[in-house]
Amino acid sequence: MLELVISVCLLDDPNRCKDVSLTYMADGASSRQCMMMSPVEISKWNEANPKWYAKKWTCRPAGRFVNI
């Protein structure tokens, strides 16, 4: 299992940032597949959180950022 970790910042205050973890649950997914699907998942997150924008992101094994 992989997680997509997105560094997001407030539109009104670009110096106020945080990391958000989205679990990518595809069985046997590679880091490359996760990165290819990242824009879609980030867009979904942005639609639900319009006051924030994605600054950067990465894919890594789940559990390093948050405990599952």
Longest distance between any two alpha carbons in the chain, whole Å: 39
Does the predicted TM-score (pTM) go above 0.85? no
Q: Is residue 53 part of a domain?
A: yes
For residue 65, pLDDT over 60 is answered with: no
Average pLDDT over residues 44-67: 85
If phi over 0 gives left and psi between -120 and 50 gives alpha, with beta otherwise, what is residue 42?
Answer: alpha
The pLDDT-based confidence of 67 (bands split at 50, 70, 90) is very low
Checking if the pLDDT of 25 tops 70, the result is: no
What's the total number of domains in the chain? 1
Residue 46 lies inside a defined structural domain of this protein = yes
> Residue 3 carries which side chain, given as an amino acid letter?
E
| Residue 56 domain boundaries | 2-61
How far is Cα 54 from Cα 43, in angstroms, rounded to an integer?
Answer: 9
Indicate the range of 6-10, 28-32, 44-48 predicted with least confidence: 28-32
